[in-house]
Amino acid sequence: MSRRNASLHPGSRTKDVAAPVLLMLLILAAWEALVRIFAVPTFVVPAPSEILAQIYLERAMIFGHLQVTLFEIVAGYLLACVVGFGLSVAIVYSKAFRRGVLPLIVAAQTIPVIAIAPILVIWFGYNDVPRIIITALVAFFPLTVSFVTGLESLESELINFFRSLNANGLQIFLKLRLPAALPNIFAGLKVATTLAVIGATISEWVGASAGLGYLMAQDTQQINTARVFASLVVLGTVGILFFAFIGLLQRFFMPWVYGRPRFLARPRRASPAAATMRAKQIGTSAR
Amino acid sequence: MAQARLDIANLRVTYAGNGQAGVTAIEKVDLTLEPNDFVSLIGPSGCGKSTLFNVIAGLQIPESGAVALDGGSIVGRPGCVAYMMQRDLLLPWRTVLENVTLGPELAGQPLARARDTAMTLLHRFGLEGFENAYPAALSGGMRQRAALLRTILCERSVILLDEPLGALDALTRASMHEWLLGIQREFQRTMILITHDPDEAVYLSDRVYVASPRPMRIAGIVPIELPRDRGRDVTLTPEFAEHKRQVLALLHAPERARSAAA
Ligand SMILES: Nc1ncnc2c1ncn2[C@@H]1O[C@H](COP(=O)(O)OP(=O)(O)OP(=O)(O)O)[C@@H](O)[C@H]1O
Ligand SMILES: [Mg+2]
């Protein structure tokens, strides 16, 4: 809970970033060396330098497709958040809903999403909608589970305490359940970022005509392995940035764990004489 | 201010058991509090003290009996008295200032006013300079004082304190006793204090109610005939020792009765 956990919540940036970057560089160097030493053909395993070259050479094409995929990722992710949040609130507040709908949701998770992609295309046509739905389908389940876990993580003592202050249901939800759920909510939101990237990519394998997933499917058929890897690297980078962005949001919304951002530190002073008066009155004004 | 009078009569509280007959936590309790009283309730662990507070606070419905504030029943009506629970229950995501003003905030009172009032009282509660700190950065004693300030700021004439100093070491406790007494005199509230500590009960109270083991009854009432403005030295007087002896005798009465029967 405290700010002291530097390893869990990176505080000393340079040190925490240096190690993984160094490891990454080491792996890439080994990869480059092995590919060159054993003269592995590019269509089997391209060297990192070739992948980077591909990204640079094909940048116009790759970033054109990336825009399509990025839209699906964000739209699908937001859809998953809204649906997951709605479902989790219903599950937490209604026993009937939990008994009736939760098993269905779990069962739905066992269906390989890609199998229903063609059906979604039949229903919604050749546009973004089926792909956004698939992205959301892949991402929403762990989201819902962690939302529910978070909203239920409350001790009954705290609810009793709020009741003793005559709090109403909405106040208990907004001022108690929701803030108490934030750690779990953000854990779910983070897991869902990577799932949304995967979901958007595979959604383009069926009935799509653009997007990095579509491009990768095309390139795989044409054994353009270097460009497949180029797309993969771009997608991976998107995943990392998305994940890091949610991490930033978390730091912003949970200052009691991560400390207050500098620009938000707000010294509060109250000195009006009226307040002193009230403080004196308070002894004699209780109901 | 409406100095309130609290009447509890013939209270009986039972926890519903799974299938079988429930557990009777409170068999029969009568209790009357005059305005500005400071009374303690002392009794063995698990005898039903917190249960009694939950009923007074309107969180739990008794099987039978009456709880009345100024003659009006407050059974099942939360929000009529201020209640500091056994644990401090500070919300980790709120600063000290945001925690202590929770009562007025939930009651829909103007937040700015509550905050200003709180700011002027922080010093009295030894929390000056910590208004923007999160509870994780407070010591145990500071947490308890913050919880107490939050309870005071609810502006109720009756305050229930369930072992407010339970988590503290002896040294901190002793200093908190004098402070608590000062707070009660200053703010003129009616306070009921649950404690396990006979010294604490005698030192702080006008009367000590001694509870029997579960199911709870009032085994006896010890009026404390010490001056209202008492310093720490009073604990060394023979009168204090005599009061403490009476409390202990009542506390251990059931054991003696049992060993006498055997
Ligand atoms: N929710 C509950 N369901 C069933 N029984 C309960 C429940 N809460 C308390 N009890 C029982 O009621 C009795 C009184 O509990 P209570 O919490 O009031 O004790 P207490 O006097 O406050 O104890 P302590 O001094 O240890 O805090 C206990 O024996 C306990 O087993
Ligand atoms: Mg208790």
Domain residues of chain A, as ranges? 47-253
Q: Which of B84-88, B163-167, B171-175 has the highest mean pLDDT?
A: B84-88
Token representation of residue A25:
């560089």
Domain A47-253: CATH superfamily, name plus number? MetI-like (1.10.3720.10)
**Cα A236 from chain centroid?**
14
Instruction: Give the total residue count for chain A.
Output: 287
Q: Is A166–B121 a contact, with Cβ atoms under 8 angstroms apart?
A: no
Q: How far apart are CA B42 and CA B216, in angstroms?
A: 11
**Lowest-confidence region among A147-161, A260-274, B88-102:** A260-274
Mean pLDDT for all residues in chain B: 89
Which of B2 and A209 is assigned the larger pLDDT? A209
Termini Cα distance of chain B: 54
**Which domains does chain B carry?**
6-81+156-261 (3.40.50.300)
Residue B158 alpha carbon to ligand 1 centre in Å: 22
Among B132, B149, B227, B32, smallest CA distance to A269 is for B132
**Lowest-confidence region among A65-69, A145-149, B166-170, B256-260:** B256-260
Q: What is the pLDDT of residues B37-82, one digit of tens each?
A: 999 999 999 999 999 999 999 999 999 999 999 989 999 999 999 9
Sign of CA dihedral A123, A127, A133, A135: positive
φ, ψ of residue A17 to 5 degrees: the values are: -85, -35
Q: Contact, B111 vs B101, CB < 8 A?
A: yes
Residue to mutate among A154, A158, A165, with most B CBs inside 10 A, is: A165
Instruction: Give the pTM.
Output: 0.84
Among A134, A141, A147, A133, smallest CA distance to A90 is for A147
Q: Torsion angle, CA of A87/A89/A90/A95, rounded to 10 degrees?
A: 120
Report which ligand 1 atom has the smallest distance to the Cα of B49: 21
Q: Torsion angle, CA of B168/B172/B177/B178, rounded to 10 degrees?
A: -160
Which of the four pLDDT bands, split at 50, 70 and 90, describes residue B229?
Answer: confident
Among B51, B73, B102, B57, smallest CA distance to B7 is for B73
| Residue B18 confidence (pLDDT) above 80 | no
Cβ(B25) – ligand 1 distance below 6 Å: yes
DSSP A17-66: HHHHHHHHHHHHHHHHHHHHHTT--TTTS--HHHHHHHHHHTHHHHHHHH
Alpha helices in chain A (DSSP H): 13-37, 48-57, 59-93, 95-109, 113-124, 128-151, 156-164, 169-172, 178-203, 212-221, 225-253, 255-258, 273-281
Average pLDDT over residues A198-218: 91
Q: What is the pLDDT of residues B103-138, one digit of tens each?
A: 999 999 999 999 999 999 898 888 999 999 999 999
Cβ(B41) – ligand 1 distance below 6 Å: no
Residues of B in contact with A266 (CB under 8 A): 132
Q: What is the largest CA-CA distance in chain A?
A: 89
Q: What is the pLDDT of residues A256-276, one digit of tens each?
A: 998 877 665 555 444 445 555
DSSP state of A285: -
Q: Is A282–B2 a contact, with Cβ atoms under 8 angstroms apart?
A: no
Share of chain A above pLDDT 90, in %: 68
Token representation of residue B21:
């007959």
For residue B252, the model assigns a pLDDT of: 87
